[in-house]
Amino acid sequence: MPNLFKGHSGCKIELDSKGRVHKTCPKHYNDRLFRQAAKQMEFKPIGNFRAAKVKNVGHGYITMNYEPYKNFDDFLQFSGKKELDFIGESLVYYIRTQCKKNRKRVSSKIIQNKYQKVSNQIFRRWGILVSELNFHFYDLPEYLYLITGQCHGDMTFSNILFDKSEMVLIDFLDTYLENPIQDYVKLRQDTKHKWSLNFSNVQNKTKIELALTYIDNMLKEELHTNFQEYYKEFQLLNLLRIIPYAKNKSVVDYLMKEIRLLCQH
């Protein structure tokens, strides 16, 4: 089977001769794999989004239908305003639909403990202290009142397959806090911070950057509706969480630059 790619978790994605996609993972990842598969199977279509159909789940693997749609970079480099509006409007509708009207009290200890764990991982892996960010997390109130709702868990543009009439979500992920803000920061990880573009091999990256910025301007409106109060803290933590898995120093430098720019606003 041809290997499509290998993620940070050590999981591999392969395509077999019958057109089925196999995701295989190390044994230690098995419990998470079952939770992720359940999340993907339980997802109900929202607007122009649906999930790739899971065919089978076993110890260390998931089998899914192959979706003959395009990756974000292949799609965006040939997209005009009509296609970009379609993507942006679909994403806004998805986020709004995931957000419920009520709010839930969440202990800030959940975010603080995650920040402390990630900070320690960054220091062990790269020898970098991020203590200048402490006040963003340790000065939070005892409880945060967050919009409730479901989330994909890793909704980067790399986990969306694109077509002119619909989009398919893949690689659902369980996360430390199941909340729509997680999907929002992941989307803007790409539209604002251009993260997935670092791993694109297409030539016309300038056009894709402009396309991502165009979509980001549509997503930014949601800040004032649902996420304004704690967006910065969740995005900082989101970007920090990538650093322990980075393969080289240039990627770390890129992420730290984006983190510093975010802190200035």
In the sheet with 167-169, reading across from the earlier edge strand, the strands are: 49-51, 167-169, 160-162
Cα–Cα distance measured from residue 141 to residue 67, given in angstroms and rounded to the nearest whole number: 44
pLDDT score at 4: 52
What is the Rg, in whole angstroms, of the alpha carbon atoms belonging to the chain?
Answer: 18
The rounded distance, in Å, linking the Cα atoms of 182 and 234 is: 8
Q: What token pair was written down for 117?
A: 């764990």
Distance CA 148, CA 59 (A): 32
| Tens digits of residue pLDDT in 120-140 | 999 999 999 999 999 999 999
List of residues 6+ apart from 16 with CB closer than 8 A: 1, 22
Q: Which residues of the chain have pLDDT under 70?
A: 1-10
Strand 54-58 and strand 49-51: the pairing is: unpaired
Residue 140 · residue 129 · CB < 8 Å: no
Question: Listing from the earlier edge strand, what are the strands of the sheet with 3-6?
Answer: 3-6, 12-15, 20-24, 61-65, 54-58
The C-alpha atoms of residue 180 and residue 95 are separated, in whole angstroms, by 7
Minimal CA–CA distance to 90: which of 155, 167, 196?
Answer: 167
Q: Evaluate whether 177 touches 230 at the Cβ level (below 8 Å).
A: no
Helix axes 249-263, 231-242, angle to 10 degrees: 170
Q: Which has the closest alpha carbon to 260: 128, 153, 155?
A: 128
Q: Which of 47, 46, 86 has the alpha carbon at shortest distance from 214?
A: 86
Between CA 255 and CA 250 the distance in angstroms is 9
Question: Cα torsion at 117, 121, 124, 126 (round to 10°)?
Answer: -140
CB 190 within 8 A of CB 197: yes
Query: What are the distances in angstroms from CA 216 to CA 121, 161, 221, 258?
Result: 30, 18, 9, 15
Q: What is the pLDDT of residue 101?
A: 87
